Amino acid sequence: MQAIVVSDAGELNWQEAEKPMLGASDVMIEIKATAVNRADLMQRRGLYPAPPGASSILGLECAGTIVQLGSDVTRHQIGDSVCALLAGGGYAEFAAVDEGSVIPVPKGLSFSQAAALPEVFATAWLNLFIEGGLQPSERVLLHAGASGVGTAGIQLCRAFGSECFVTVGSEDKIAACRSLGAIGGFDRTQGSFLSALKDQWNDGVDVILDPVGASYLDDNLQALKLNGRLILIGLMGGARSEIDLAQLMIKRLRVQGSTLRSRALSEKAAIMAELQQFVWPKIEQGDIKPIVQQVIPIEQAAAAHDLVASDATIGKVVLSVAK
């Protein structure tokens, strides 16, 4: 098969690669589209290796058609149009993935649209509703609101009865987030978000979803209400910081670190099942939609990486795989 292979110099080459082996509980997907995540950029630089046993090929999600079934597969049939959450292997013509990480393409969506769903909606759902325990009418602060996870999170908050405030990198992105349902936003290039957030809600928020880390920690703790939850999903602003333990005690705060890629297959299957049960119907009804900045042929993956690295995007950049 053809796949993107990272050269020793970090170049992305569409070339011959070994086709994955099919396990007993796996389905083989002929990939029609995949999508770029920041984790791919990190892995390309050698900073985020694939978990043990996972494909070393880039790509954490895909959409396509099932062409082969493992001997123990019961949930899917050959010919099904599906999208999948991957631990690796999406930048290729074929991917073998455990059947629990695979769910149908929502009705009415193209493969390019469906490829933009699994990673960001699984991340947002996991961390807002499972780890964060978000309840209707609670308030949310979403950092990097115009990212793939951010745009998914905004829509999930709106669809399930919570208001959210976002931090982003420009006024245009605030407008885009408002159009998706955010109640307000702050341009992070203007300094600390805390004053603007307090202007919106003086008593703070219940849940914060944060891919930034250390540089936002103090303001995040100040922004949380009594019994608030801070869910850390990234370290773009550093990994080390001092913490005011008194705030944690007095306000009974919870700080939760979270990753998705390295979770057990059983956990991923449970997350995907909840997406299919609770989120996919809202996509099919038009209440939630994939946000795709641009679709680029996979042979131009390097250009797609450059676009994501530019911080100029809203939502996802998708790679199409033509046969």
* Helix or strand holding residue 87 (H, E): none
pLDDT tens-place string over residues 152-190:
999 999 999 999 999 999 999 999 999 999 999 999 999
- Percent of the chain at pLDDT above 70? 100
pLDDT tops 90 at residue 236: no
- Measure Cα distances from 136 to 129, 157, 215 in Å: 10, 8, 29
- pTM for this predicted structure: 0.96
Angle formed at CA 182 by CA 181 and CA 184, multiple of 5 degrees: 145
**What is the model's pLDDT at position 206?**
98
pLDDT tens-place string over residues 261-281:
999 999 999 999 999 999 999
pLDDT tens-place string over residues 302-313:
999 999 999 999
DSSP string, 310-323: TT--SSEEEEE---
pLDDT tens-place string over residues 112-140:
999 999 999 999 999 999 999 999 999 99
- Measure Cα distances from 105 to 22, 85, 116, 228, 298 in Å: 21, 12, 11, 35, 20
Residue 138: count of CB within 10 angstroms of its CB: 20
The domains of the chain, with CATH numbers, are 2-117+261-320 (3.90.180.10), 120-257 (3.40.50.720)
